[in-house]
Structure 1
Amino acid sequence: MEQQTIITDKITIDEIRSQLENWRQNKRNHREPIPKELWQAAADLAKKHSINTVSKALRLSYADLKVRLYGPSKPKPSKRQKPASFIELKCDSPLTDKETTLELQDLKRDIRLKISFKGSPVFDISSLIKSFCQSL
């Protein structure tokens, strides 16, 4: 009895295969899409058999048949995080009224850098120091 079911299923696959071959031979142009009825028949067969078995037997795209059977897959979330956006905080008045002086010097070469500012600096001090030291 189980063999009879397999034979019946093979005939069904063979019937769909012959319909697909007939369509392939008689289609108007090379890029004509497969009719919805044939896709639906293939999807119905894939419910009984595996997608792999049906796609190979009917010479159909595994991925396209899977979409017809289960619908489109959800996009995977991106592993890369979005880069933090730059936020500039402007301060109209200094946070402090104190004056700050920064002095850098190279005693061997007698080179000095003196910076004075009032309140918070409006420049990147660490980058300035790094640039000064690299230029020596």
Structure 2
Amino acid sequence: MSLQTIIILILTGIAAGVLGGLVGVGGGIIIVPSLVYFLSFSQKAAQGTSLGLLLLPVGILGVLQYYKQGHVDFKVVGLIAIGFLAGSYLGSKVALSLPHDTVKKIFAVLLIIIALKMLFIDKPHTEDNVTQIIQI
């Protein structure tokens, strides 16, 4: 592995970590495009590599900081994790059965939809939304 590749990978990790800690985005939003465009990974290889990072406790320090401030609800985490396990298995099976270009387009469209929704469809919220949801 070249020094340039190592530097790109480390910078990608730093960017994903900072954005993950800053705004709570999954690293895949940064890692997948970086691997595809800077290191010429296939879309499927980039997604698989990004998922591989989830197997390690990469977010533990960020979670710890949010937890100290009372901003982590482990009931919600547990429930989402149950769905995430099933969803990631199903999603990976579907992605691996589709052509490379189709997977790449699905990823791009998803990012665009999320970005547009966040920019133009603002839902009212309060700091206590998580607490209100759990009490229901």
Task: Report the TM-score when normalising by structure 1.
Answer: 0.30
Q: Does 1 or 2 have the higher relative contact order (CA < 8 Å, sep 6+)?
A: 2
Structure (1 or 2) with the larger CA radius of gyration: 1
Structure number with the higher helix fraction is: 2
Please give the TM-score of this superposition, normalised by the length of structure 2.
Answer: 0.30
Identify the structure with the greater strand proportion: 1
